[in-house]
Amino acid sequence: MAAPEVEAPETIEGYWVLHDFRRIDWPRWRSLPEAARSRLLEELLGFLGECASVEGVERGGSSRAYRVITQKADLAVIHFRPDPAQLFDLQAGLWRCGIADFLLPAYSYFSVIELSLYRGPSSRPEVMERRLYPRIPDRRYMCFYPMNKRRGERYNWYDLPASERREMMKGHGRVGHKYAEQVTQIITGSQGLDDWEWGVTLFADHPIHFKKLVYEMRFDPASSRYAEFGPFYIGMTASPQDITALLLGS
Ligand code: 76R
């Protein structure tokens, strides 16, 4: 029987994840009186502060706001939470803020932190814990894109024997590991949850590291033959002062 060869890799899931991208409706926002804009900004900052307050709680989750470059979005919020139901509440929480009337949906993604056990589980429970339930890394830049593994006539990831996939993931890990200091990757699985199969979220102190890493990876067979990519979003961490400057121009 060929059954063991076509087996899906075992995965372990951790935090549930929502990436929520919004565009600001600038003409309508700017036409508001300044006092109204300040009030809506305060309410938004209060909401974001509340989101981030879970960080002190063990396995409570993590949330970060980002400014986004290009016209695909202006703002992004990323939430990690232990219970998927919390993400429904967080999404609704932002819509209930008055400023939501001026935030146009741009993109969003629902997934769950996933470790695929191609290399077997780490023998150290604290390593597994840290990877399944991480804080959002304190790096200045974030890169998010969704991806699939190809199911073409010639190259079909899902038809490959497990041993070949394992070998290829080893090569992938080798390329990635060269960037371990500059880039933190968080892979989230979204099979059955959203339109692509994985979300890739990378964190680094400078976006040049995203470019170098992703380019080098394009030559690795796990990507060159088998990866298909969705849109890329690049964000920069946004403190309350940054969001105030963005929205009120001060
Ligand atoms: O060392 C380990 O245990 C982890 C090895 C590892 C796995 C299992 C790893 C390492 N990744 C894994 C899984 Mn990854 N990763 C991506 C992308 O743009 C592209 O071409 C692909 C997008 C990047 C940039 C990246 C970076 N990785 C996965 C999976 C799940 C596949 C599956 O289960 O079939 C995907 C979709 C994926 C995609 N990867 C690394 C990195 C980096 C930087 C590392 C090294 C991390 C480190 O050593 O600290």
How far apart CA 174 and CA 22 sit, in angstroms, is 35
Residues with CB under 6 A from ligand 1: 9, 116, 118-119, 147, 169, 172-173, 176-177, 179-180, 183, 185, 187, 198, 200, 202, 213-214, 217-218, 223, 227
pLDDT of residue 1: 47
How far apart CA 14 and CA 131 sit, in angstroms, is 8
Give distance in angstroms: CA of 188 to centre of ligand 1. Answer: 10
What mean pLDDT is predicted for residues 207-223? 98
Q: Is residue 104 in some structural domain?
A: yes
Q: What is the pLDDT of residues 55-73, one digit of tens each?
A: 989 999 999 999 999 999 9
Select which of 15, 66, 145, 179 is catalytic.
145
Q: Is 233 annotated as a binding residue?
A: no
Q: Is residue 236 in some structural domain?
A: yes
Strand partners, 156: 151
Check which CATH number belongs to the domain holding 73 and give it: 3.30.70.1030
What mean pLDDT is predicted for residues 43-48? 98
Examine the pLDDT at 122 and tell me if it is beyond 80.
no
Examine the pLDDT at 250 and tell me if it is beyond 90.
no
**To the nearest whole percent, how much of the chain has pLDDT over 70?**
97
Domain with 185, as residue range(s), is 11-248
pLDDT of residue 38: 98
Q: Which ranges of the chain does DSSP label H, i.e. alpha helix?
A: 3-6, 26-30, 34-52, 84-96, 125-132, 162-177, 208-218, 221-224, 240-248
Query: Smallest Cα–Cα separation from 110: which of 215, 170, 4, 191?
Result: 191
145 in active site: yes
Confidence band for 3, pLDDT divided at 50, 70 and 90: low
pLDDT of residue 123: 73
Residue 9 CA, closest ligand 1 atom number: 33
∠71-76-81 over CA atoms, to 5°? Answer: 155
pLDDT of residue 118: 84
Q: Is residue 5 in some structural domain?
A: no
Q: Is residue 6 in some structural domain?
A: no
Query: Smallest Cα–Cα separation from 237: which of 78, 34, 42?
Result: 78
Q: Is 91 annotated as a binding residue?
A: no
Count of domains observed in the chain: 1
Q: Is residue 40 in some structural domain?
A: yes
What stretch of H or E contains 106? strand 103-116
Q: Is 19 annotated as a binding residue?
A: no
Average pLDDT, the chain: 95
Q: Is residue 2 in some structural domain?
A: no
Ligand 1: which residue has its CA nearest to atom 27?
187
Examine the pLDDT at 42 and tell me if it is beyond 80.
yes
Q: Is residue 45 in some structural domain?
A: yes
Q: Is residue 208 in some structural domain?
A: yes
